[in-house]
Structure 1
Protein backbone atom coordinates (compact mmCIF):
# COMPACT_ATOMS: atom_id res chain seq x y z
CA UNK A 1 0.00 0.00 0.00
CA UNK A 2 2.78 2.38 0.95
CA UNK A 3 4.73 1.46 -2.19
CA UNK A 4 1.69 2.13 -4.36
CA UNK A 5 1.12 5.50 -2.67
CA UNK A 6 4.79 6.39 -3.04
CA UNK A 7 4.68 5.56 -6.75
CA UNK A 8 1.55 7.65 -7.12
CA UNK A 9 3.20 10.64 -5.48
CA UNK A 10 6.30 10.16 -7.63
CA UNK A 11 4.20 10.14 -10.81
CA UNK A 12 2.40 13.28 -9.68
CA UNK A 13 5.72 15.00 -8.93
CA UNK A 14 7.16 14.10 -12.33
CA UNK A 15 4.02 15.29 -14.13
CA UNK A 16 4.00 18.58 -12.23
CA UNK A 17 7.69 19.15 -12.88
CA UNK A 18 7.25 18.44 -16.57
CA UNK A 19 4.32 20.85 -16.81
CA UNK A 20 6.28 23.53 -14.99
CA UNK A 21 9.28 23.01 -17.25
CA UNK A 22 7.17 23.28 -20.41
CA UNK A 23 5.49 26.40 -19.09
CA UNK A 24 8.83 28.00 -18.31
CA UNK A 25 10.18 27.04 -21.72
CA UNK A 26 7.14 28.54 -23.45
CA UNK A 27 7.51 31.75 -21.48
CA UNK A 28 11.18 31.94 -22.43
CA UNK A 29 10.36 31.46 -26.12
CA UNK A 30 7.71 34.18 -25.95
CA UNK A 31 10.14 36.53 -24.22
CA UNK A 32 12.76 35.90 -26.89
CA UNK A 33 10.16 36.48 -29.63
CA UNK A 34 9.35 39.94 -28.31
CA UNK A 35 11.76 42.72 -29.35
CA UNK A 36 13.83 43.88 -26.41
CA UNK A 37 13.62 47.48 -27.62
CA UNK A 38 11.12 49.50 -29.62
CA UNK A 39 12.14 52.65 -31.48
CA UNK A 40 9.37 55.07 -32.42
CA UNK A 41 10.15 57.75 -35.01
CA UNK A 42 7.86 60.78 -34.99
CA UNK A 43 8.81 63.05 -37.86
CA UNK A 44 7.78 64.85 -41.03
CA UNK A 45 8.53 64.30 -44.71
CA UNK A 46 12.27 63.95 -44.04
CA UNK A 47 11.48 60.66 -42.29
CA UNK A 48 8.28 59.68 -44.12
CA UNK A 49 10.02 58.68 -47.39
CA UNK A 50 8.49 61.59 -49.29
CA UNK A 51 9.25 61.17 -52.99
CA UNK A 52 11.18 57.96 -52.37
CA UNK A 53 10.52 54.32 -53.12
CA UNK A 54 9.11 52.49 -50.13
CA UNK A 55 11.79 50.96 -47.97
CA UNK A 56 14.59 53.31 -49.07
CA UNK A 57 14.26 56.04 -46.44
CA UNK A 58 16.65 56.36 -43.52
CA UNK A 59 14.16 54.85 -41.03
CA UNK A 60 13.77 51.74 -43.19
CA UNK A 61 17.55 51.56 -43.52
CA UNK A 62 17.81 51.74 -39.73
CA UNK A 63 15.47 48.78 -39.35
CA UNK A 64 17.50 46.85 -41.92
CA UNK A 65 20.76 47.59 -40.10
CA UNK A 66 19.36 46.42 -36.77
CA UNK A 67 18.09 43.22 -38.39
CA UNK A 68 21.47 42.58 -40.01
CA UNK A 69 23.14 42.96 -36.62
CA UNK A 70 20.53 40.56 -35.20
CA UNK A 71 19.53 43.11 -32.59
CA UNK A 72 16.00 42.54 -31.22
CA UNK A 73 14.80 46.08 -31.92
CA UNK A 74 11.48 46.94 -33.52
CA UNK A 75 11.26 50.19 -35.47
CA UNK A 76 7.96 52.00 -36.03
CA UNK A 77 7.87 54.95 -38.40
CA UNK A 78 5.03 57.28 -37.39
CA UNK A 79 6.21 60.18 -39.54
CA UNK A 80 3.73 62.26 -41.55
CA UNK A 81 4.71 64.51 -44.45
CA UNK A 82 4.00 68.14 -43.72
CA UNK A 83 3.66 67.60 -39.99
CA UNK A 84 4.54 70.32 -37.49
CA UNK A 85 5.46 70.09 -33.83
CA UNK A 86 1.85 70.85 -32.90
CA UNK A 87 0.70 67.94 -35.06
CA UNK A 88 3.28 65.68 -33.49
CA UNK A 89 2.22 66.81 -30.04
CA UNK A 90 -1.39 65.93 -30.80
CA UNK A 91 -0.47 62.47 -32.13
CA UNK A 92 2.13 61.49 -29.57
CA UNK A 93 -0.06 60.38 -26.62
CA UNK A 94 -1.83 57.81 -28.78
CA UNK A 95 1.45 56.59 -30.25
CA UNK A 96 3.00 56.16 -26.80
CA UNK A 97 -0.03 54.24 -25.58
CA UNK A 98 -0.13 52.00 -28.65
CA UNK A 99 3.56 51.20 -29.12
CA UNK A 100 5.06 51.65 -25.63
CA UNK A 101 8.46 52.56 -27.12
CA UNK A 102 11.74 52.42 -25.28
CA UNK A 103 13.26 55.12 -27.52
CA UNK A 104 11.46 58.00 -29.25
CA UNK A 105 13.16 59.89 -32.06
CA UNK A 106 11.58 63.31 -32.63
CA UNK A 107 12.30 64.80 -36.06
CA UNK A 108 10.01 67.82 -36.21
CA UNK A 109 10.31 71.58 -36.39
CA UNK A 110 11.36 72.25 -39.97
CA UNK A 111 7.80 72.85 -41.16
CA UNK A 112 7.18 75.19 -38.24
CA UNK A 113 9.97 77.43 -39.48
CA UNK A 114 8.98 77.16 -43.14
CA UNK A 115 5.48 78.32 -42.19
CA UNK A 116 6.79 81.17 -40.09
CA UNK A 117 5.28 79.84 -36.86
CA UNK A 118 6.50 81.39 -33.60
CA UNK A 119 9.64 79.66 -32.40
CA UNK A 120 8.38 79.84 -28.81
CA UNK A 121 5.55 77.51 -29.79
CA UNK A 122 7.95 75.12 -31.50
CA UNK A 123 10.12 75.05 -28.39
CA UNK A 124 7.13 74.44 -26.11
CA UNK A 125 5.84 71.61 -28.29
CA UNK A 126 9.23 69.88 -28.44
CA UNK A 127 9.61 70.26 -24.69
CA UNK A 128 6.15 68.81 -24.09
CA UNK A 129 6.74 65.87 -26.43
CA UNK A 130 10.10 65.09 -24.88
CA UNK A 131 8.69 65.17 -21.36
CA UNK A 132 5.67 63.05 -22.31
CA UNK A 133 7.89 60.39 -23.89
CA UNK A 134 10.22 60.36 -20.89
CA UNK A 135 7.33 60.06 -18.46
CA UNK A 136 6.12 57.09 -20.50
CA UNK A 137 9.47 55.40 -19.84
CA UNK A 138 11.21 56.16 -23.14
CA UNK A 139 14.55 57.74 -23.90
CA UNK A 140 14.38 60.63 -26.35
CA UNK A 141 16.58 61.64 -29.26
CA UNK A 142 15.96 65.07 -30.80
CA UNK A 143 17.05 65.57 -34.41
CA UNK A 144 18.04 69.22 -34.78
CA UNK A 145 17.56 71.20 -37.94
CA UNK A 146 18.97 74.40 -39.44
CA UNK A 147 17.39 76.98 -41.69
CA UNK A 148 18.95 78.53 -44.83
CA UNK A 149 20.67 81.90 -44.30
CA UNK A 150 18.02 83.72 -46.32
CA UNK A 151 15.71 83.43 -43.31
CA UNK A 152 17.95 85.87 -41.46
CA UNK A 153 20.93 85.18 -39.24
CA UNK A 154 19.15 85.80 -35.94
CA UNK A 155 16.16 83.66 -36.84
CA UNK A 156 18.42 80.83 -38.02
CA UNK A 157 20.46 80.97 -34.82
CA UNK A 158 17.36 81.03 -32.60
CA UNK A 159 15.87 78.09 -34.51
CA UNK A 160 19.02 76.00 -34.24
CA UNK A 161 19.40 76.80 -30.54
CA UNK A 162 15.90 75.77 -29.53
CA UNK A 163 16.71 72.09 -30.10
CA UNK A 164 19.77 72.33 -27.88
CA UNK A 165 17.87 74.17 -25.17
CA UNK A 166 15.12 71.54 -25.03
CA UNK A 167 17.65 68.69 -25.01
CA UNK A 168 19.63 70.33 -22.23
CA UNK A 169 16.57 71.11 -20.13
CA UNK A 170 15.08 67.63 -20.45
CA UNK A 171 18.45 65.79 -20.48
CA UNK A 172 17.61 64.21 -23.82
CA UNK A 173 20.00 63.06 -26.54
CA UNK A 174 20.58 65.50 -29.39
CA UNK A 175 21.81 65.30 -32.96
CA UNK A 176 22.58 69.00 -33.62
CA UNK A 177 22.06 68.91 -37.40
CA UNK A 178 20.15 66.02 -38.95
CA UNK A 179 21.16 66.94 -42.53
CA UNK A 180 24.87 67.38 -41.91
CA UNK A 181 26.79 66.32 -45.00
CA UNK A 182 23.60 66.57 -47.05
CA UNK A 183 22.48 70.20 -46.96
CA UNK A 184 25.96 71.63 -46.34
CA UNK A 185 27.92 69.56 -48.84
CA UNK A 186 30.09 70.84 -51.69
CA UNK A 187 27.12 70.58 -54.06
CA UNK A 188 24.01 71.18 -51.90
CA UNK A 189 21.62 70.25 -54.71
CA UNK A 190 23.26 66.90 -55.54
CA UNK A 191 21.57 65.09 -52.66
CA UNK A 192 18.12 66.66 -53.00
CA UNK A 193 15.09 65.92 -55.11
CA UNK A 194 13.92 68.31 -57.81
CA UNK A 195 11.99 70.37 -55.25
CA UNK A 196 15.31 71.26 -53.55
CA UNK A 197 13.71 70.57 -50.18
CA UNK A 198 13.60 66.81 -49.72
CA UNK A 199 16.75 64.64 -49.70
CA UNK A 200 16.94 62.01 -52.43
CA UNK A 201 17.65 58.29 -52.11
CA UNK A 202 21.43 58.83 -52.19
CA UNK A 203 21.16 61.05 -49.10
CA UNK A 204 19.31 58.52 -46.94
CA UNK A 205 22.38 56.44 -45.92
CA UNK A 206 24.16 59.67 -44.92
CA UNK A 207 21.19 60.67 -42.77
CA UNK A 208 21.28 57.28 -41.07
CA UNK A 209 25.00 57.63 -40.42
CA UNK A 210 24.28 60.94 -38.70
CA UNK A 211 21.65 59.37 -36.46
CA UNK A 212 23.34 56.06 -35.69
CA UNK A 213 26.18 57.18 -33.37
CA UNK A 214 23.73 59.11 -31.18
CA UNK A 215 21.00 56.47 -31.22
CA UNK A 216 23.18 53.42 -30.61
CA UNK A 217 24.01 54.22 -26.95
CA UNK A 218 20.28 54.57 -26.23
CA UNK A 219 19.72 50.99 -27.36
Structure 2
Protein backbone atom coordinates (compact mmCIF):
# COMPACT_ATOMS: atom_id res chain seq x y z
CA UNK A 1 0.00 0.00 0.00
CA UNK A 2 3.03 2.35 0.21
CA UNK A 3 2.57 4.08 -3.14
CA UNK A 4 -1.18 4.37 -2.61
CA UNK A 5 -0.70 5.76 0.87
CA UNK A 6 1.84 8.32 -0.30
CA UNK A 7 -0.46 9.35 -3.12
CA UNK A 8 -3.42 9.90 -0.85
CA UNK A 9 -1.31 11.59 1.82
CA UNK A 10 0.03 14.04 -0.73
CA UNK A 11 -3.42 14.64 -2.11
CA UNK A 12 -4.89 15.28 1.33
CA UNK A 13 -1.97 17.34 2.59
CA UNK A 14 -1.85 19.66 -0.40
CA UNK A 15 -5.55 19.54 -1.26
CA UNK A 16 -4.68 18.07 -4.64
CA UNK A 17 -7.52 15.62 -4.38
CA UNK A 18 -10.06 18.29 -5.18
CA UNK A 19 -8.36 19.21 -8.43
CA UNK A 20 -7.03 15.79 -9.39
CA UNK A 21 -10.45 14.25 -9.08
CA UNK A 22 -12.16 17.00 -10.97
CA UNK A 23 -12.52 19.77 -8.41
CA UNK A 24 -16.17 20.71 -8.31
CA UNK A 25 -18.11 18.03 -10.12
CA UNK A 26 -19.67 18.99 -13.44
CA UNK A 27 -23.41 18.85 -13.80
CA UNK A 28 -24.41 15.22 -14.37
CA UNK A 29 -25.06 14.55 -18.03
CA UNK A 30 -27.01 11.65 -19.47
CA UNK A 31 -24.68 8.70 -19.41
CA UNK A 32 -23.17 7.65 -22.70
CA UNK A 33 -22.28 4.24 -23.95
CA UNK A 34 -19.11 3.67 -25.93
CA UNK A 35 -19.87 0.93 -28.44
CA UNK A 36 -17.48 -1.89 -29.14
CA UNK A 37 -16.04 -2.13 -32.63
CA UNK A 38 -18.20 -3.96 -35.12
CA UNK A 39 -15.49 -6.55 -35.70
CA UNK A 40 -15.92 -8.05 -32.21
CA UNK A 41 -18.45 -10.84 -32.81
CA UNK A 42 -20.98 -11.52 -30.07
CA UNK A 43 -24.13 -13.57 -29.80
CA UNK A 44 -27.09 -13.66 -27.49
CA UNK A 45 -29.22 -10.90 -25.95
CA UNK A 46 -27.71 -7.53 -25.18
CA UNK A 47 -26.49 -7.20 -21.60
CA UNK A 48 -26.88 -3.57 -20.45
CA UNK A 49 -24.53 -2.67 -17.59
CA UNK A 50 -24.38 0.64 -15.71
CA UNK A 51 -20.94 1.73 -14.49
CA UNK A 52 -21.75 4.24 -11.74
CA UNK A 53 -18.91 6.04 -10.01
CA UNK A 54 -16.44 8.91 -9.95
CA UNK A 55 -13.38 9.89 -11.99
CA UNK A 56 -12.04 6.33 -11.94
CA UNK A 57 -14.98 5.43 -14.18
CA UNK A 58 -15.42 8.79 -15.91
CA UNK A 59 -11.99 8.50 -17.51
CA UNK A 60 -10.03 11.34 -15.93
CA UNK A 61 -7.44 12.73 -18.37
CA UNK A 62 -7.89 9.93 -20.91
CA UNK A 63 -10.03 9.59 -24.03
CA UNK A 64 -13.57 8.33 -23.44
CA UNK A 65 -12.77 5.25 -25.50
CA UNK A 66 -9.97 4.54 -22.99
CA UNK A 67 -12.14 4.89 -19.87
CA UNK A 68 -12.83 1.83 -17.74
CA UNK A 69 -16.46 1.30 -18.88
CA UNK A 70 -15.50 1.42 -22.57
CA UNK A 71 -12.56 -0.95 -22.11
CA UNK A 72 -14.69 -3.24 -19.94
CA UNK A 73 -17.29 -3.44 -22.70
CA UNK A 74 -14.65 -4.54 -25.17
CA UNK A 75 -13.27 -7.13 -22.76
CA UNK A 76 -16.70 -8.62 -22.12
CA UNK A 77 -17.52 -8.70 -25.81
CA UNK A 78 -14.23 -10.46 -26.45
CA UNK A 79 -15.48 -13.12 -24.03
CA UNK A 80 -18.66 -13.50 -26.10
CA UNK A 81 -20.85 -11.44 -23.76
CA UNK A 82 -22.99 -8.96 -25.71
CA UNK A 83 -22.29 -6.20 -23.20
CA UNK A 84 -23.27 -2.56 -23.52
CA UNK A 85 -21.69 -0.60 -20.68
CA UNK A 86 -23.00 2.89 -19.90
CA UNK A 87 -20.45 5.26 -18.38
CA UNK A 88 -22.12 7.09 -15.50
CA UNK A 89 -18.92 8.26 -13.85
CA UNK A 90 -18.65 11.89 -12.75
CA UNK A 91 -15.26 13.28 -11.78
CA UNK A 92 -15.17 14.76 -8.30
CA UNK A 93 -18.24 12.94 -7.04
CA UNK A 94 -18.33 12.09 -3.36
CA UNK A 95 -20.60 9.27 -2.29
CA UNK A 96 -23.16 11.89 -1.21
CA UNK A 97 -23.20 13.63 -4.60
CA UNK A 98 -23.44 10.29 -6.35
CA UNK A 99 -26.31 9.14 -4.15
CA UNK A 100 -28.20 12.31 -5.01
CA UNK A 101 -27.99 11.69 -8.76
CA UNK A 102 -28.40 7.93 -8.69
CA UNK A 103 -32.15 7.69 -9.21
CA UNK A 104 -32.04 10.20 -12.06
CA UNK A 105 -29.24 8.25 -13.72
CA UNK A 106 -30.91 4.88 -13.25
CA UNK A 107 -34.32 6.02 -14.45
CA UNK A 108 -32.86 7.62 -17.55
CA UNK A 109 -31.09 4.56 -18.91
CA UNK A 110 -32.46 3.52 -22.31
CA UNK A 111 -33.18 0.07 -20.87
CA UNK A 112 -32.93 -1.21 -17.29
CA UNK A 113 -29.40 -2.38 -16.53
CA UNK A 114 -28.93 -6.04 -15.76
CA UNK A 115 -25.99 -5.12 -13.52
CA UNK A 116 -24.85 -1.92 -11.81
CA UNK A 117 -21.18 -1.54 -10.91
CA UNK A 118 -20.79 0.88 -7.98
CA UNK A 119 -17.38 2.55 -7.59
CA UNK A 120 -17.34 5.31 -4.97
CA UNK A 121 -15.46 6.47 -1.87
CA UNK A 122 -12.16 7.77 -3.24
CA UNK A 123 -13.22 11.41 -3.06
CA UNK A 124 -14.63 10.84 0.43
CA UNK A 125 -11.13 9.72 1.42
CA UNK A 126 -9.50 12.75 -0.13
CA UNK A 127 -11.83 15.02 1.83
CA UNK A 128 -11.53 13.05 5.06
CA UNK A 129 -15.29 12.52 5.23
CA UNK A 130 -16.74 10.29 7.90
CA UNK A 131 -16.79 6.57 7.00
CA UNK A 132 -20.25 6.48 8.53
CA UNK A 133 -21.46 8.97 5.91
CA UNK A 134 -19.75 7.09 3.11
CA UNK A 135 -21.35 3.84 4.21
CA UNK A 136 -24.81 5.38 4.46
CA UNK A 137 -24.58 6.93 1.00
CA UNK A 138 -23.43 3.77 -0.73
CA UNK A 139 -26.00 1.78 1.25
CA UNK A 140 -28.78 3.97 -0.15
CA UNK A 141 -27.69 3.07 -3.67
CA UNK A 142 -27.52 -0.65 -2.95
CA UNK A 143 -30.87 -0.54 -1.16
CA UNK A 144 -32.53 0.97 -4.23
CA UNK A 145 -30.96 -1.67 -6.47
CA UNK A 146 -32.22 -4.39 -4.13
CA UNK A 147 -35.71 -2.93 -4.28
CA UNK A 148 -35.59 -3.10 -8.08
CA UNK A 149 -34.00 -6.54 -8.06
CA UNK A 150 -30.98 -5.30 -10.01
CA UNK A 151 -27.71 -7.08 -9.16
CA UNK A 152 -24.80 -4.94 -7.99
CA UNK A 153 -21.03 -5.26 -8.07
CA UNK A 154 -19.29 -3.11 -5.46
CA UNK A 155 -15.76 -1.88 -6.17
CA UNK A 156 -13.98 -1.57 -2.83
CA UNK A 157 -11.49 1.11 -1.77
CA UNK A 158 -8.96 1.24 1.07
CA UNK A 159 -7.97 4.05 3.40
CA UNK A 160 -4.31 4.99 3.93
CA UNK A 161 -2.80 4.69 7.42
CA UNK A 162 -2.06 8.41 7.65
CA UNK A 163 -5.78 9.03 8.28
CA UNK A 164 -5.53 7.13 11.55
CA UNK A 165 -6.02 3.53 12.60
CA UNK A 166 -9.66 4.00 13.63
CA UNK A 167 -10.55 5.76 10.38
CA UNK A 168 -8.74 3.12 8.34
CA UNK A 169 -10.49 0.29 10.17
CA UNK A 170 -13.94 1.85 9.80
CA UNK A 171 -13.50 2.82 6.15
CA UNK A 172 -12.02 -0.50 5.02
CA UNK A 173 -14.92 -2.33 6.66
CA UNK A 174 -17.51 -0.47 4.57
CA UNK A 175 -17.32 -2.52 1.41
CA UNK A 176 -17.33 -6.12 2.66
CA UNK A 177 -20.05 -5.23 5.17
CA UNK A 178 -22.29 -3.62 2.55
CA UNK A 179 -21.70 -6.42 0.07
CA UNK A 180 -22.78 -8.94 2.69
CA UNK A 181 -25.77 -6.88 3.85
CA UNK A 182 -27.17 -6.25 0.36
CA UNK A 183 -26.03 -9.40 -1.38
CA UNK A 184 -23.74 -7.53 -3.78
CA UNK A 185 -20.73 -9.00 -5.49
CA UNK A 186 -17.44 -7.46 -4.31
CA UNK A 187 -14.06 -6.55 -5.71
CA UNK A 188 -12.19 -5.91 -2.41
CA UNK A 189 -9.86 -3.19 -3.78
CA UNK A 190 -10.57 -1.79 -7.23
CA UNK A 191 -7.08 -0.30 -7.67
CA UNK A 192 -5.21 -3.44 -6.61
CA UNK A 193 -3.63 -3.93 -10.05
CA UNK A 194 -2.17 -0.42 -10.30
CA UNK A 195 -1.81 1.33 -6.95
CA UNK A 196 1.83 0.30 -6.42
CA UNK A 197 2.95 0.62 -10.05
CA UNK A 198 4.01 4.23 -10.81
CA UNK A 199 4.25 3.56 -14.54
CA UNK A 200 0.52 2.76 -14.59
CA UNK A 201 -0.48 5.96 -12.77
CA UNK A 202 -0.79 9.51 -14.00
CA UNK A 203 1.34 12.31 -12.58
CA UNK A 204 -1.14 12.84 -9.73
CA UNK A 205 -0.28 9.30 -8.52
CA UNK A 206 -3.98 8.57 -8.10
CA UNK A 207 -5.61 8.08 -11.49
CA UNK A 208 -4.54 5.24 -13.77
CA UNK A 209 -3.13 5.89 -17.21
CA UNK A 210 -4.80 4.38 -20.26
CA UNK A 211 -2.55 1.34 -19.86
CA UNK A 212 -3.36 1.25 -16.16
CA UNK A 213 -7.06 1.15 -17.01
CA UNK A 214 -6.41 -1.82 -19.24
CA UNK A 215 -4.78 -3.55 -16.28
CA UNK A 216 -7.80 -2.77 -14.10
CA UNK A 217 -10.09 -4.24 -16.73
CA UNK A 218 -7.95 -7.35 -17.03
CA UNK A 219 -8.05 -7.78 -13.25
CA UNK A 220 -11.80 -7.25 -12.83
CA UNK A 221 -13.62 -8.27 -16.02
CA UNK A 222 -14.06 -11.82 -14.73
CA UNK A 223 -15.73 -10.41 -11.59
CA UNK A 224 -18.11 -8.41 -13.77
CA UNK A 225 -18.94 -11.42 -15.94
CA UNK A 226 -19.59 -13.52 -12.84
CA UNK A 227 -21.84 -10.84 -11.32
CA UNK A 228 -24.05 -10.70 -14.42
CA UNK A 229 -27.27 -12.66 -13.96
CA UNK A 230 -28.24 -15.34 -16.43
CA UNK A 231 -29.18 -13.85 -19.80
CA UNK A 232 -32.81 -12.93 -20.07
CA UNK A 233 -34.90 -11.61 -22.91
CA UNK A 234 -36.24 -8.45 -21.30
CA UNK A 235 -33.52 -5.99 -22.32
CA UNK A 236 -36.07 -4.02 -24.35
CA UNK A 237 -38.37 -3.45 -21.40
CA UNK A 238 -39.15 0.08 -20.30
CA UNK A 239 -36.96 1.41 -17.49
CA UNK A 240 -38.54 1.32 -14.02
CA UNK A 241 -39.82 4.57 -12.60
Query: Does TM, scored on the shorter chain, surpass 0.5?
Result: yes
What are the superposed Cα offsets for residues 83-110 of structure 1, whole Å, 9 maximum, x if unpaired? 0111111111112212221100000011
Match of 1:176 in 2: 188
Deviation at 1:34, TM superposition (A): 9.5
Q: Does 1:47 align with 2:57?
A: yes
* C-alpha distance in structure 1 between counterparts of 2:76 and 2:221, whole Å: 10
| Equivalences, count | 184
Q: Does the aligned pair in 1 maintain the 2:50–2:113 contact within 8 Å?
A: yes
Match 1:122 to one of 129, 134, 138: 134
Match of 2:154 in 1: 142
Residue pairs, 1:57-96, within 5 angstroms: 57-96=67-106
What are the superposed Cα offsets for residues 108-148 of structure 1, whole Å, 9 maximum, x if unpaired? 01111211111111101111101101222310010001122
* C-alpha distance in structure 1 between counterparts of 2:174 and 2:216, whole Å: 21
TM-score if structure 1 supplies the norm length? 0.78
Deviation at 1:37, TM superposition (A): 2.0
Relative distance call for 1:189 and 1:149 in structure 2 (3 A) is farther
Deviation at 1:66, TM superposition (A): 2.6
* C-alpha distance in structure 2 between counterparts of 1:97 and 1:150, whole Å: 39
Relative distance call for 1:154 and 1:210 in structure 2 (3 A) is farther
Relative distance call for 1:211 and 1:76 in structure 2 (3 A) is same
Q: Does the aligned pair in 2 maintain the 1:58–1:205 contact within 8 Å?
A: yes
* C-alpha distance in structure 2 between counterparts of 1:47 and 1:35, whole Å: 25
* C-alpha distance in structure 2 between counterparts of 1:130 and 1:49, whole Å: 23
Match 2:145 to one of 112, 118, 133: 133
Q: Does the aligned pair in 1 maintain the 2:53–2:88 contact within 8 Å?
A: yes
Deviation at 1:75, TM superposition (A): 0.8
Deviation at 1:35, TM superposition (A): 4.8
Moved >6 Å (runs of 4+) = none
Stretches of structure 1 that go unaligned for 5 or more consecutive residues are 1-32
Higher RCO (CA < 8 A, seq sep 6+): 2
Structural RMSD (CA): 1.8
